[in-house]
Amino acid sequence: LIQRLLAAGANINYPALEDGATALQIAVGEAAKTGDLEMVEFLLERGADVNAAAGNSGGRTALQFAAAAEQGNLILVERLLRAGADINAPAAEDKGITALQGASIRGHLKFAHIFLDGDANVNAPGSAINGRTALEGAAENGRLDMVQLLMN
């Protein structure tokens, strides 16, 4: 179906849901749960914008979705980075997160190391409404190992 829509001229980056999420962001959410990156690869190969931000409350880029997923998928995160995902894309205004903030809240140490090695801004502000810095998010969620990493 997606192949037919794209062949008919559909905009691959058009928001697919009311919250503004694009097809790639939806595919990343599913890939984070299932480990199946086939749709992510398909969309990236056809020019999906890896840095598109979802439009509304809690909106996230594909990397921010992957970093904050309950099931941390390293292959997915690495693939998005190879596609040019912006480690320092700003948090959405309400309930948004940066990639490092998402990894810190979830306790994904490996992601945090990758993001910090890629010059993620450890002091990036949380979203204006209901936001936290990476350090605040890690501390609030009892991620002491993450707190130590972020403090060094």
| Burial (CB count <10 Å: 0-12, 13-18, 19+), residue 127 | buried
**53-85 pLDDT, tens per residue?**
866 657 899 999 999 999 999 999 999 999 999
pLDDT at 119 over 60: yes
Using pLDDT thresholds of 50, 70 and 90, give the confidence band for residue 143. very high
Residue 56's pLDDT is: 61
Residue 122's pLDDT is: 96
The pTM (predicted TM-score) of the whole model is: 0.91
**31-46 pLDDT, tens per residue?**
999 999 999 999 999 9
Residue 54's pLDDT is: 67
Nearest-angstrom CA–CA distance, 51 and 104: 20
Fold of domain 2-151: 1.25.40
**How do the domains of the chain map onto residue ranges?**
2-151
Count, residues in the chain: 152
* pLDDT, greater one: 95 or 122: 122
Nearest-angstrom CA–CA distance, 21 and 130: 20
